[in-house]
Amino acid sequence: MNVNRRITLRAHPKGHPKPDDFALIEAPVPEPGPGQMRVRNLYFSMEPAIRGWLDGKDNYFQAIPLGGVIRGPSLGVVEQSNLAGFTPGDYVWGLTHWEEYSILSAETILLERLTVSPDIPLSHYVGALGPSGLTAYVGLHDIGRIKAGDTVVISAAAGAVGSVAGQIARLRGARVVGLAGSAEKAAILTDRLGFHAAINYRAVDDLRAAIADTCPTGVDVYFDNVGGRTLDALLPNMRDFGRIICCGMISDYNNQASPTPVHNLWQVVAKQLTMRGFLLFSHTDSLPQARHDLHQWAADEKLVALENVTRGIAHAPDSFCRLMAGETVGKTVLALDWPD
């Protein structure tokens, strides 16, 4: 244990990121100081938000500099601790970096000691029972104010957040329609996840009309993971006093310098819509109930954890690039290649 493999940013991506935009380097294994702990990372959570940190421009987090280690959430196990409340063997979650070993402290964003069940795969705590599921839950309840009988449309519905959001909405008694980018993904939504209907947006000439046909009485809640043209198509289909949950705008993450124009924003006024964005770490008061409900649904086999797992830190760039190209289904997870 004398090498810490890390993934760094070699070049600012142009459009879709490519594996060559990243580099694998080696560094010494870090030693924790006072108030710190060393964590051996087990899983990286591949997040579309990381794309916004690669262009050299700050947003709600500082940009990752060229040569800098890629920042991202991870799940790991404590190996050595000088931090009160954490002991070796604890499973922890936090915003760390793409590296085998990380130093965490009380200042680590999203730091949390996890209580895991031996009956649940550990990777599920990265996705459906972790931040992806929590984001879906908070978005629907705190922002969307979902209720039984609502018609709910979810974009990127076969993705990490969308796949959970659709299942939660169904469990809350809503009619759920998912938007996805292939016939295979649309079939997963209805056959495996219990969506009431699904639209393959690549197979329709007019998405606005396809949504109107599928939701003839209008849409009460739109869970937006995409933005751009998809948001534009939803706005005229919203019912009066509808709620739009702005969770992400992945359609423009690879082209942030020239975002897609949205032409139908007048509908926010005409239909008296509520349209609100959110970040999970601003809703910590909601997380205990969210965790409880997600774990109960999983235990009752009412919640399917849809995931795709790639093994080996060297494959982290490829896993991330496939996510950003829309080639993955469910939560995209990188499992580090430790001996069992």
CATH number for region 131-281: 3.40.50.720
Helix (H, G, I), strand (E, B) or coil at 292: helix
* Claim: this prediction has a pTM higher than 0.85: yes
Can you read off the two tokens belonging to residue 330?
Answer: 């469910």
CA-based nearest residue to 234, from 261, 265, 259, 258: 265
* The CATH fold of domain 4-127+306-335: Quinone Oxidoreductase; Chain A, domain 1 (3.90.180)
- Please count the CA atoms within 13 angstroms of the CA of 331 that sit on its side-chain side: 27
Determine the pLDDT at residue 250. Answer: 79
Q: How far apart are CA 181 and CA 186, in angstroms?
A: 8
Can you read off the two tokens belonging to residue 174?
Answer: 């809503």
Within 8 A by CB and 6+ apart from 325, the residues are 16
Determine the pLDDT at residue 252. Answer: 67
Can you read off the two tokens belonging to residue 108?
Answer: 């680590």
Determine the pLDDT at residue 260. Answer: 85
What own/partner pairs with CB < 8 Å and gap ≥ 24 does 62-68 have? 64/9, 65/9, 66/9, 66/10, 66/11, 66/12, 67/8, 67/9, 67/10, 68/8, 68/9
Burial of 50 from C-beta contacts in 10 A (0-12 / 13-18 / 19+): buried
CA-based nearest residue to 184, from 3, 12, 330, 336: 330
Domain regions of the chain by residue span: 4-127+306-335, 131-281
Place of tokens 């970096």: 97
Q: What is the pLDDT along the chain (340 residues), one digit of tens a residue?
A: 589 999 999 999 998 999 999 999 999 999 999 999 999 999 999 999 899 999 988 887 899 999 999 999 999 999 999 999 999 999 999 999 999 999 999 999 889 999 999 989 999 999 999 999 999 999 999 999 999 999 999 999 999 999 999 999 999 999 999 999 999 999 999 999 999 999 999 999 999 999 999 999 999 999 999 999 999 999 999 999 999 999 988 776 667 677 888 999 999 999 999 999 999 888 989 999 999 999 999 999 999 999 999 999 999 999 999 999 989 999 999 999 887 6
